[in-house]
Amino acid sequence: MNGIRRLVLQNVRPRTLCAHYSARAAPQRPKQTRLSAQSNLGPSAMSAHQVFAPLTKGCPVFKISQPITVLREPQQFYKQLIHGIKHAQRHICLSSLYIGSEETELVAELKNALARNTKLQVRVLLDCLRGTRTDSAGMSSAALLAPLVQQFGEERVQVFMYHTPALSGLSKQAWPQRYNETFGLQHIKAYIFDDDVIISGANLSRDYFTNRQDRYMRISDPQFSDYFVRLVSTIGQFSFRVLNGDQATGYKLEMADGVADPTRDPREFVREANELMVQFLHRAEIEHAVEAGSISEHDTLAIPTVQMRQLGITQDESHMR
């Protein structure tokens, strides 16, 4: 599975040790940092600062100055999404497993926002296998979004579909839609509106907006937001692009020129995608490095880790050791 597997939020106060977040499930704490929240951290005990300082190595670190908002209900999550779309001035970036084929209201809000503000840019990253799966009416996430690309152009609307390299050739033709997802998925759930980022485990579909409870946190920070926008853009470089075209499906998929097709040449695809991701992560680590000695006991840190094992990217595993 590919995605932001863990976001470590560290508020380094004597009794507030660490809050872990995962887009799929809450990971176990590393053994070396297993301290009880009820522990009495006296002068002789190891401080939270000392415990979590090693997590700042090898990953970008963001000092968050604004309060982090925890959303409580699916309906609140949906309202925040709509609010973000309506008020974004520069960019909207949505990364999810899929967008429900029934979410015409959400797409209509995107269309209205693009029409109101000619400077607004929209990027959407979905999983290709799930994003092209059709419902009983033949509709899919790709078909739902393709008209936005046609109306506003790729200069303003980019829809990316990441395709796993583990499913190619005859295997891709043999496995039915509902089962081919077992080979690997794009699983990042991050929704960015200018400087605001909503990190969640929820997809963009009706059940997640009404009665399917998940986790949602809103973080306001321009550098943190920019990291996710650039992450999505980097993955987009080795993903299929959704274009308006085929009359039967309502869209067509194209890879960028010079990028290997994961369904035809998975080995070359993995090599190229790994190179792009390593460059991005290395640059992010350098740009957002934090010296351990510069962390105060009152800082809140956000440390995103990326797990894309099929591409040789295993930051989450490294942090869990």
Structure token digits, residue 250:
């309502």
Q: Tell which residue, 107, 104, 105, 112, has the closest CA to residue 86.
A: 112
| Full 3-state SS string of 61-115 | CEECCCCCEEECCHHHHHHHHHHHHHHCCCEEEEECCCECCCCHHHHHHHHHHHH
Query: Does residue 189 have an active-site annotation?
Result: yes
Q: Is 299 a catalytic residue?
A: no
The answer to whether residue 83 is catalytic is no
Q: Which of 111, 127, 163, 187 is catalytic?
A: 187
Nearest to 308 by CA among 286, 283, 276: 276
Catalytic residue among 111, 127, 163, 194: 194
Q: How far apart are CA 214 and CA 218, in angstroms?
A: 13
What are residue 163's phi and psi, to 5 degrees? -115, 125
Q: Can you read off the two tokens belonging to residue 49?
A: 């600062």
102: tokens are 């029934």
Residue of 189, 226, 316, 319 marked active site? 189
- Apex CA 283: angle with CA 277 and CA 286, to 5°? 140
Catalytic residues: 187, 189, 194
